[in-house]
Structure 1
């Protein structure tokens, strides 16, 4: 009841100010003031003011706001601890994705263009003579990657 009275008084005062402004030949400003002053009256007539005042004076509503604040505080605390630990959600997601990719197809990331790739070559047997070509292949791997890229670019005429 008190809130409705205050809103009605504010509307009446605003309309009075709008009338004085219109008397001074500032019609655009007077219209804007009248529009703002009719908002509280409209809120009273639609029942919004009664609803808001009912919420504002209920202890259960304030307890609910307290619980929401506590949940927000817990959420932000866990985020801060997560940031200090050094691992972010994106890093953990990338690590899980890498584990899945390795488990499904371990050689999936190797290039598959012709003789330059090492995926199609047989692995040499353990022995002294076979160890030297393996080292040579590992040293030549970056050059092979670039030759694959060059082949793709030439294929497309770039």
Structure 2
């Protein structure tokens, strides 16, 4: 990963981003990038820890590694969201599993984007900004309160 300077924009302002990554260096790069883009960052290194963050936080984006410390494929998190029948945040898979079949599997599981490791931080930044634009169009305005089937 290259550590070139990222623009001083804050396109993730107000967004919570979960980094699911077991490699401390990769997690550190991604977390610093999210913070530089104005986002609030959470970190998990296993699918089970990620589920806790997902249950306790309103996430805009998940940056999801496929091969995690607990030997569980990160895509299991997407499968969990499908079982809940709940709206999932935008998901960017980052992985060294880089074949076309790997990309197709991740996207078919529900990921919005897939990037191969090692990645350039400028490209990761651009992909996060694009996902945030998509997330913002799917969200209710801050002035709208939604609880179950009730919308005020």
TM-score, with normalisation over the residues of structure 2?
0.18
| Structure with more relative contact order (C-alpha pairs < 8 Å, separation 6 or more) | 2
Name which one, 1 or 2, has greater alpha-carbon Rg.
1
Question: Which of the two has greater helix per residue?
Answer: 1
Structure in which a larger fraction of residues adopt strand: 2
**TM-score of the superposition, structure 1-length normalised?**
0.18
